[in-house]
Structure 1
Amino acid sequence: MRLSIAAAAACLASAHAFKDTSPFLLFASSQLPSALQNQQSQQLQSASNVLNTAKKILGKCDQDIYYFVHQLDVNAAQLSSNAPPHLTKALSDSDARGRYSVSEVIDFDREHFDQLVDYVETQCKATAVGQNPSGIHSALESREDNSPLYAKWNFGALPKLASERKTELANNDAELNTYLKDLPKDYKYTVIYTTSPPSTSVHDDLVYEPAFDEAVHMDLKRQLLGREGEGASPRDTRPLFEKYQFFTPGLFMGILVSLLLLSILGVGISAISSLQVSYKAFDKENGPAAQKKQQ
């Protein structure tokens, strides 16, 4: 199955945010069966589905050497943001004619990785070789029955800090590049790069930025005259009533209302004070006239 370079590297260039998922990569020097074309477009698959598809690819046993790589604690988003350059280059190489990649594999772990290795060892009668580039080439040349070989790498868990995680991924990619850069041109090969989802959350690096109070510059009185003309604004010599506004509209309205209320109060006080009533107007009458009125 011939795919474009951009489509083959899609799982390294796309970011996803699913939990408990991790990417799966497989590329080979020979073409893959055309029946895998529909499964190639499904970028969210279960671990068992991917495992069965990979076994169908590896079950042909038509390769000379298999490279198995497993990386713990990484998902598609982290792998895309810290894309291993050497792995991406090997994946997009023109010699890699067959590619099978899934961006989101649910709950893929090292046990599934070991099942793939055991499958190649039992189904294809593959022989393990040491992790030495010169030893791999010599083992390929010294084969007697043309039985396939395989080599595997298990990279440990990545640190929690983002910067340390990126550095560790780069170191693992550099180590793997010592084998990928010398992929045998005259032999058929298959590279299986599997990952497991991170067990813990990744923390961003905390950058400490100290905050210091700026020093307060206090000018002495004897320095004011000397610095008056250095960058100072021109002195305002306008009259007082032109420079400031003393009677604002609100203040003027308050004065008018106060005068109106005071005038009403004055009229009321003057009206009450003009009343002329004798002091005995409210006294009770007790004389003969009052008795006659009561009768």
Structure 2
Amino acid sequence: MHLSRFGLLALGAAAVDAFRDTSPFFMASTSELLTNSAYIKNGASVYDEISSALSTCPSDYYVVVSQPGVHSTDFSTRKSAPRLGAKMLGKDRSIHSKMSVNEVVGELDAKQIKSLLVEKCGAETTAIDASSGSYPTYFESGPRVIDIEFAMLPLSNSRASQLSDNDGLLADIIDRIPSSSKYTILYVTSPREFPESDSVVYEPFEEFNHDGVHMDLKRDYSARADSSPSDSLGRQTSLFDEYQYFTPGLFMGFLASFFFLMILYIGVSALSSLQVSYAAFEKDTSGAVQKKQQ
């Protein structure tokens, strides 16, 4: 699918933080699989579709990637995961099947997918600890599950570079799969955590006095007061970036008003330029005087 289907947003559609409890899912395979991409699906539906697509054990290697702590906006530029993006955008000609879901609602467990492959395909498992950065120089013949678990992305500005480094490690592992073998990548993610200051905080408290017990709610506005508008990449933006003040309708109204004012001006100018003498409105009596004299 095209950019909007990938969900890597520039690798996919421009995404927003509308769904904070969702995360994307990507699948790419050198085998022919029947899959359907979508913008949003629940986790159970995605799992059922994966089970159906892999029921015939079409590949020799299944690269199951677990990347916790991400959101679709983390894939908003081509630099986020360029190698995975090349496979999802059709730049890798060896890929024959693709599936992407920008927003997966609910849990999609990578362990459940691995158990499915082990049970149905009799696949052996090779676990790779991505934090150590070490992995085999070659993989034994399939069917085999290559289990890659990445650490949760940090909430700091380094999350983009960490995601790119993970993408490089994944690409290097895939390059070590024998070229004559078929493989399927299942990139499973889980939603990222947001700082507490992102949300409005309500703290109930009790205040005792002679009139009885009073309950009240205290709202924390400090996060909103200190924060300024920012885009999906965290860059500061102005009000003119967030809102459209000069709309096409307003422009057309100004243009029509300009033409009406021009017509009015020309009409008033034409009327004011007329020059008529005062005598033109007086009755000519010279003819009547001559008749009386005769």
Query: Do both proteins adopt the same fold according to a TM-score greater than 0.5, normalized to the shorter chain?
Result: yes
Write 1 or 2 for the structure with the bigger share of strand. Answer: 2
Deviations 1:200-243 (A, max 9, x none): 24898899xxxxxxxxxxxxxxxxxxxxxxxxxxxxxxxxxxxx
- Name the SS for the 2:138 alignment partner: helix
State the alpha-carbon separation in 2 of the partners of residues 5 and 180 from structure 1: 23
Which of 122, 125, 128 aligns to 1:125? It is 122
State the alpha-carbon separation in 2 of the partners of residues 22 and 148 from structure 1: 28
**1:184 equivalent in alignment to 2:185:** no
Query: What is the root-mean-square deviation of aligned Cα atoms in Å?
Result: 2.6
CA, structure 1 residues 166+45, in 2 after alignment: closer, same or farther (shift >3 Å)?
same
Deviates more, 1:76-85 or 1:48-57: 76-85
- Name the SS for the 1:43 alignment partner: strand
State the alpha-carbon separation in 2 of the partners of residues 182 and 80 from structure 1: 28
**Superposition pairs of residues 189-204 of structure 1, within 5 angstroms:** 189-201=183-195
State the alpha-carbon separation in 1 of the partners of residues 14 and 4 from structure 2: 14
CA, structure 1 residues 10+148, in 2 after alignment: closer, same or farther (shift >3 Å)?
same
**1:29 equivalent in alignment to 2:30:** yes
How many residues matched? 188
Deviations 1:258-289 (A, max 9, x none): xxxxxxxxxxxxxxxxxxxxxxxxxxxxxxxx
State the alpha-carbon separation in 2 of the partners of residues 191 and 133 from structure 1: 18
Higher Cα Rg, which structure:
1
- What residue identity is the alignment partner of 2:144? L
CA, structure 1 residues 8+186, in 2 after alignment: closer, same or farther (shift >3 Å)?
farther
- What residue identity is the alignment partner of 2:46? V
How many Å apart are 1:101 and its aligned residue?
0.9
State the alpha-carbon separation in 2 of the partners of residues 205 and 123 from structure 1: 44
- The equivalent of 1:75 in structure 2 is 71
How many Å apart are 1:130 and its aligned residue?
5.0
- The equivalent of 1:52 in structure 2 is 48
- What residue identity is the alignment partner of 1:94? R
Which of 169, 172, 186 aligns to 2:166? It is 172
CA, structure 1 residues 135+184, in 2 after alignment: closer, same or farther (shift >3 Å)?
closer
- What residue identity is the alignment partner of 2:42? S
State the alpha-carbon separation in 1 of the partners of residues 33 and 66 from structure 2: 22
TM-score by length of 2: 0.58
- What residue identity is the alignment partner of 2:25? F
- Name the SS for the 1:115 alignment partner: helix
- The equivalent of 1:287 in structure 2 is none
State the alpha-carbon separation in 2 of the partners of residues 104 and 15 from structure 1: 12
State the alpha-carbon separation in 2 of the partners of residues 96 and 7 from structure 1: 18
How many Å apart are 1:59 and its aligned residue?
1.4
Structure 1 contact 86–174 (Cα < 8 Å) conserved: yes
- The equivalent of 1:135 in structure 2 is 138
CA, structure 1 residues 5+185, in 2 after alignment: closer, same or farther (shift >3 Å)?
farther
- Name the SS for the 1:119 alignment partner: helix
- The equivalent of 1:104 in structure 2 is 103
- The equivalent of 1:229 in structure 2 is none
Q: What are the ranges of 5 or more consecutive residues in structure 1 without an aligned counterpart? A: 141-146, 208-295
TM-score by length of 1: 0.58
State the alpha-carbon separation in 2 of the partners of residues 206 and 47 from structure 1: 31
